Structures are given as C-alpha cells and as structure tokens.
Amino acid sequence: MSLIQTKSIAEQVEELLRGRIRDGTYVPGSRIPSESELSEEIGVSRATIRTVLAKLAVIGLILRKQGDGTYVNARVQKVSAHLGNIWDFACLIESNGFAPSIQAISRELRQATGKEALGLAIEPGDELLHLVRLFYADEKPVILANNVIPVSLICEPVDTVDGRLHIREILQNYCHQEIAFVITDIRSTLIEAGESVLLQKQPGDIILGLDVSFYSKNNVPLVLGSNYFDDTVLRLSLVQAWN
C-alpha cells in the first residue's frame, strides 16, 4: 500500500486549467486555446484534454461552441456551489463567500427508530452513533447537521470519532467505507424549539431541510443525514449544464 498516490494526468491537467481560470490567465468571458493547442502545449493527447474540458463544461465553468471555441464562463465563477457539492457543507459555505468552521455538538449512542432502520436497512432498536454538528459561516451558525451511523459499521472505538471531520472522512477513517452515491431530499420546514437555539432562530421560523442518504458501491446505506439549513444567510444554488 503506497501512501503517495500519484494523481492521474487528467487530474493534473484539470488542476492546471482550473488554476488558469481562477487566477485570470484565462480571462473570464474570453476564448481559451483550442484542444489541439492545449494538447501540444501540455504534452498529452487530445482525448485527455477533452475529458478534462468535458468535466469543466458539466459544472458550467466553461462554455463550448462547436466550430468556434471554448470560453470561460464569467457568470458561474462567482455564484456557485454546484452539483457535486450539495451535501459538502463546508464547501458550500466557502463558495458563498464565508469562512467555514465546524463545531461538534454531541456524540451519542442510541437505538434506531423504525424510520431510521428502514433507511439504513437495519433492524429497529439496532445501535446507532448519532452525531450533531453545527456549521458556521464567519462565526454565524448556518447549518445544523444530524448524522446517524449504524454502530455495526464502525471498526474503531466509538469515542475516538472526531465530529469535526467531513462525513466522507469519518466513513473512511472509522468504517473503512467509501461513498459511491448520495440521495438528497430537499424540503421546506419549520424549525423546532430544540434546533432553533443553536441556529439563533425563533421556533417556527422557516428553514430548508436536507435529508441525505449515503450509500456504498455495494448499495449498503452508510449514513443518514437530517440537516437544517438557514437559507436566509446561505444561498443553496445549483449550476447545471444543458447537455
């Protein structure tokens, strides 16, 4: 097992191009070099260039015009938290222009409710680790995150779990599991008394509810998330490319 994971050529090219877009080497709205030119300059095949450009086009960072060229999308740079980031709250806070931080509120062992058991494909009463975390945007609390993980998945001592880590990291470090896909339900909801205090809101204020399920490649449910998202401070905005 090698600790040093060399990045693929495509990943390196992606970072290079993202960097040039970020630092203005490629001016917003302007045309970037053609695929052939990039291929020659960077020294990789045109196919590799194309896989990278396709990825950047999907998230709207660039606009491609057949017979013309590829353009930097000025509009998306400022706005976005795009598709891949919907459930990555720290990333989402950052792209809203705030400095993110995470506070671990509590870590509790308890039994699964019927609904949780259904979502996690376990039996009601099976033991769960329930994590409560609070996400801050520039010192202001904006997202209250509840996550439950079946204890049966956890390989390490439960009390070593660091609540400030990303869910992905928690699953990697303590469960040796990788996330394959995620299903997110978005609801409009009223905040309850218990949660309102932590988010500095009034009970009965309206708020976004994000119910998230994480699954492994074997289609095993890994974690359920029940999150309260203060959309008066943070924008939940998605960018999508057409085709």
Instruction: Name the residue nearer to DNA (CB basis): 37 or 108.
Output: 37
Q: Interaction with its own copies in 155-174: which residues (CB under 8 A)?
A: none
> 37-66: which residues touch its own copies (CB under 8 A)?
60, 63, 65
Least distance CB 80 / its own copies (angstroms):
7
How far, in Å, CA of 134 to CA of 144, rounded? 5
Report what 197 binds from its own copies, DNA, none; CB cut-off 5-8 Å by kind. none
CB 226 within 8 A of CB 213: no
**CA distance linking residue 119 with residue 109, whole number of Å:** 18
Considering CB under 7 A, how many residues would be counted as binding DNA? 24
**Residue 187 CA to chain centroid, in angstroms?**
18
180 touches DNA by CB under 7 A: no
Q: Is 48 in the site for DNA (CB under 7 A)?
A: yes
235 binds its own copies (CB under 8 A): yes
Does 176 bind DNA (CB under 7 A)? Our answer is no
User: Smallest distance, Å, CB 185 to its own copies?
Assistant: 5
H-type alpha helices, 83-166: 89-95, 114-120
Q: Are 175 and 150 in contact (CB under 8 A)?
A: no
- CA distances, 60 to each of 53, 239, 240, 242 (Å): 10, 7, 6, 9
Query: At its nearest, how many Å lie between its own copies and the CB of residue 4?
Result: 20
Query: 3-state class of 204 per DSSP?
Result: coil
Residues that bind its own copies (CB under 8 A): 29, 60, 63, 65, 71, 73-76, 79-80, 83-84, 86-87, 178-190, 206-208, 215, 217, 219, 231, 235-242
